[in-house]
Amino acid sequence: MAKHQKILNKVIFNGNSLKIKDVFNVAVNGFMVESDIEMKEKVDNSRRIVDKLIAQNKTVYGITTGFGELSQISIPKEDTELLQRNLIMSHSVGVGKPFSEEVVRGAMLIRANSLIKGYSGVRWQIIQMLTEMLNKDIYPMIPEKGSLGASGDLAPLAHLCLVMLGEGEAKYQGKKMSGAQALRKAGLKPIILQAKEGLALINGTAVMSSLGALAVYEAERLLKLSDIAGALTFEALEGIRSAYDEHISQVRPYKGQRESAENLLSLTEGSELLAETHSSKVQDAYTLRCIPQVHGASRDAVRYVQGVLQLEINAATDNPLIFSEEKIISGGNFHGQPLALALDFLGIAIAELGDIAERRIERLLNSNYSNLPAFLVEHNGLNSGFMLTQYTAASLVSENKILSHPASVDSIPVSAGKEDHVSMATLAARKAREIIKNVQYIIAIELLCAAQAIDFQLPKKLGRGTKVVHKVIRESIPHLKKDRILYPDIEKSFNLIKNGKLIEKVEKVIGKLK
């Protein structure tokens, strides 16, 4: 059987080949999971080394010592199990509203995938417990706030581990209850942590990686949606199509720019609203003419972030790491700096998609820039039309400017100065996801406005792709003839892009977008 594949909506994980899409499918689409039994021998061997160290009463960080600044304190071997339980209890200090079930599911999968690599010294039972909890719909309640992103996601993962011990709170089949109740209802027994297992469970980057993997997956779809919305606006404003000519991208050969230009040409192919040149203008404003350059730069940024996350979800992020009896090394793979930088970059790159989309919305609504009616409604004055939708978009853009301030430039020492540089990667990931959601709303508003603008251009023929876009929008959202309550329309447009249906229908007609 090939490693790590989807079988009847199941993902098999082996520590080495987990994909970002697999994390999304398990986290969001509820795929079942299965551990690769071929990895059991390596996991068991790592555990035997831990047991031998304890029997020999050797001093090894986190196994026979305290943690952080307390690592200089030796722990008798008869207290090693209590040490691990105390670790989980004392580190469960998260605050704020709980993470969504999808984030928790992703974190559970990523942590299990890291442990199955066989460098963490846990029993196979620990990996199976995480697998069973996922498959039986037990989701620990993990507060959003409390991780510094170095020494891993200590507080969030401690809350995850609480439920494995029959403590804390969880949701079971959608209902909130105690961890003990959840395990009992699912037919599972609480585990008793043995030496190193508590540390192995919480000393890792699973929560920030789950947030990041889900964020980058959504960002990849948002890149396509930005091209789709940009193309519809470009057509509504009768842009000059030669700005996307392949020769322009050839002499400045960024991959993202080329991909975006190809998408725009494909979406608008056959349009009667566009021309290679225009009789009334020499060139378009930057927000139309430079879509490939702006969207393309974000594409290249997202590609970089995707590479970081793809590596991280298959990494060993525990400490210490067990390579052999002679090679047990304390290091810093739990430090989230690679993710912090990448996820800050992701937030900035996606915020820029929102920035340029809001300016395109302004051009659609401002009658000084086109032959369209002011605010895209007849009898304006009596009707305000889409005027206030731009206010909402502008508000979201300004919020994203604040959220784009990098978390990774901040650090604060903890544990009496032992842990004196932290990454804030989990905060960077949370911000990136919020930025993505804001931009999804901005694009949803642009699609509404562009579809309304296109209505005034009919019956001229639309492009192959933009015709589909306009049709999909109009199937669920009618033309605005006079003022009505618009927030339901925004939500409908948002749902069209959030569930992937718009991309799916466009790609059925014109083929896969880049």
Active-site residue list = 61
Instruction: Report the alpha-carbon distance of residue 489 to residue 476 in Å, rounded.
Output: 9
Pairing type for strands 10-13 and 32-35 reads parallel
Q: Do residues 231 and 510 touch, judged by C-beta distance below 8 A?
A: no
Tokens of 183: 């395990």
Tokens of 71: 């690592």
Residue 475: HSE in the Cβ half-sphere, 13 Å Cα cutoff: 10
| Chain mean position to CA 238 | 35
- What are the beta bridge partners of residue 12? 34
Q: Do residues 183 and 208 touch, judged by C-beta distance below 8 A?
A: no
Handedness of CA 267, 268, 270, 272 (dihedral sign): positive
- What are the beta bridge partners of residue 288? none
Q: Which long-range contacts (CB under 8 A, 24 or more apart) does 76-82 make?
A: 80/54, 80/194, 80/195, 81/192, 81/193, 81/194, 81/195
Q: Do residues 122 and 71 touch, judged by C-beta distance below 8 A?
A: no
Instruction: Report the alpha-carbon distance of residue 229 to residue 268 in Å, rounded.
Output: 11
- Length, in residues, of the chain: 514
Instruction: Report the alpha-carbon distance of residue 256 to residue 261 in Å, rounded.
Output: 9
Greatest Cα-to-Cα distance within the chain, rounded to the nearest angstrom? 87
Pairing type for strands 95-98 and 169-172 reads unpaired
Q: Give strand ranges (E) for 210-340.
A: 321-322, 328-329
Q: Which residues of 452-467 are buried (b: 16+ CB within 10 A; e: fewer)?
A: bbbbebeeeebbbbbb
Instruction: Report the alpha-carbon distance of residue 144 to residue 427 in Å, rounded.
Output: 9
Tokens of 382: 């009596």
Instruction: Report the alpha-carbon distance of residue 230 to residue 295 in Å, rounded.
Output: 10
First to last CA, the chain: 31
Selection from 89, 136, 104, 303 nearest residue 207 by Cα: 104
